[in-house]
Amino acid sequence: MLKKVLVASLFVFLGTTASTANANIESSLANICDIVKSNDKSELRRKMRTVQNDYGAKLRDYYSGITCNGKSLIKLAIINDAEDAGTLLVKKMPKSALREEEHDGSSLKAWIDDQGLQDNPVSQALLDRI
């Protein structure tokens, strides 16, 4: 009986800890869309370093969970001509992740082609990398 109570308590504790960690990461990343829009590379780098140091999460771990008005961070950088921030994002993401479909069902390359944004510096960095 005591064993069941201890196991149940452990599950409650772990569940609470996980949800608290997710809430803390979310609050840490709350203004990342504004940072990318404003092309603030140093603040973006600082934000990514803080999240990695505090939570052990790299950009690839949380990139797919962030949308800014329905756009991914790299798409947001391309749309807003945020060359410095966008190029940093492209460099920090694994090549395989850059080739994958995003939450809207298209890959970054397909989206760039559809939008006719091949001349954008972030698009060029992305295409060179993949």
Structural domain of 48: 31-129
Q: What is the pLDDT of residues 28-85, one digit of tens each?
A: 687 889 999 999 999 999 998 988 998 888 888 888 888 888 888 999 999 999 999 9
Q: DSSP assignment, residue 100? A: S
**Structural domains in the chain (count):** 2
Q: What is the pLDDT of residues 27-42, one digit of tens each?
A: 768 788 999 999 999 9
Same domain, 90 and 62: yes
How far is the C-alpha of 34 from the C-alpha of 39, rounded, in Å?
9
Same domain, 82 and 109: yes
How far is the C-alpha of 34 from the C-alpha of 116, rounded, in Å?
24
CB-CB contact of 89 with 73 (8 Å): yes
Same domain, 52 and 5: no
How far is the C-alpha of 83 from the C-alpha of 77, rounded, in Å?
7
